[in-house]
Amino acid sequence: MSREWTDEQRELFERDTGGKLLLPRVAVAADAGAGKTSVLVQRVRNLPTDKRILCVSFTEKSKADLEQKLADHITAEVYTIHGFCGRIVSEFGALAGLPPFFRIMDADERDEVFYRSFEKVYRRSPPANLDHGVDRFWGLCRMAQDAGDGALVHDGAAD
C-alpha cells in the first residue's frame, strides 16, 4: 500500500538522529485518522535493526495495530503503557518494597472487588445509616477507578 506523506509526517520519521536512538524524541498528537500510527511505524522501520526498540501505546487497539504493522520488525517490542509499567514493576518491584508474589489486577477482578466491597458496606450499615454506607462505597469506587486497570494484587503465594 502506497502512502502520500505530508511534510510534517516525513520530517518525523526522516529526522537525522545523529546515530542515537533516543534523540531527538518524538511525540505525535493528532486527530483520529491523521496517520499517527503510520508515522510511528515508519519511524521505527527507519531505526537501526541491530538495536532493541520499545513502542508504547495507550490502548490495546493501538498496541494490536502496531504489533501487526511491525510483525516483521523483530527488534520492536510493543506494549500498552499499563503493560510496560507492569513489566517494570514485576521485574523491579522488590526494589520498591512490593511483596514478591503479586500480579496486576484485571478488569474482572476489579469489578469483583467493587461488588464485594458494596456487599460489606451494605451489611455493615444499618438502614438508618444506609446513605452514609452508600457514600463510603462510592468513595471506594472512585479510588479504585482512579487506580484503573492495573491495581496490584498480592497473590499470597508466599503466605
84 and 122 share one domain: no
Kindly state whether residue 138 falls inside one of the protein's structural domains. Answer: yes
109 and 84 share one domain: no
Q: Say how far apart CA 142 and CA 124 lie, in whole Å.
A: 20
CA torsion 63-64-69-72 (nearest 10°) is 100
Kindly state whether residue 67 falls inside one of the protein's structural domains. Answer: yes
Q: Say how far apart CA 53 and CA 77 lie, in whole Å.
A: 6
Kindly state whether residue 58 falls inside one of the protein's structural domains. Answer: yes
Residue range of the domain that includes 120: 100-154
Distances (CA, A) of 30 to 7, 54, 80: 15, 21, 19
11 and 35 share one domain: yes
Q: Is the pTM of this model over 0.85?
A: no
Residue 144: how many CA atoms within 13 Å on its side-chain side? 20
- The answer to whether 51 and 23 are in contact (CB under 8 A) is no
Taking residues 62-67, report their average pLDDT: 90
15 and 84 share one domain: yes
105 and 84 share one domain: no
Mark which of 42, 59, 88 sits at the end of a domain: 88
Domains of the chain: total: 2
Would you place residue 27 in the very low, low, confident or very high pLDDT band (cuts 50, 70, 90)? Answer: low
Mark which of 36, 63, 88 sits at the end of a domain: 88
Would you place residue 76 in the very low, low, confident or very high pLDDT band (cuts 50, 70, 90)? Answer: confident
16 and 59 share one domain: yes
pLDDT reading at 158 higher than 50: no
- The answer to whether 93 and 104 are in contact (CB under 8 A) is no
User: What average pLDDT is seen over the chain?
Assistant: 74
Taking residues 91-97, report their average pLDDT: 85
Q: For 60-74, 108-122, 134-148, which range has the lowest pLDDT when averaged over its residues? A: 134-148
**Helix residue spans in the chain (DSSP H):** 7-14, 36-46, 60-69, 81-92, 107-124, 130-147
20 and 72 share one domain: yes
Q: In this structure, what DSSP letter does residue 157 have?
A: T
Pick 75 or 41 by higher pLDDT.
Answer: 41
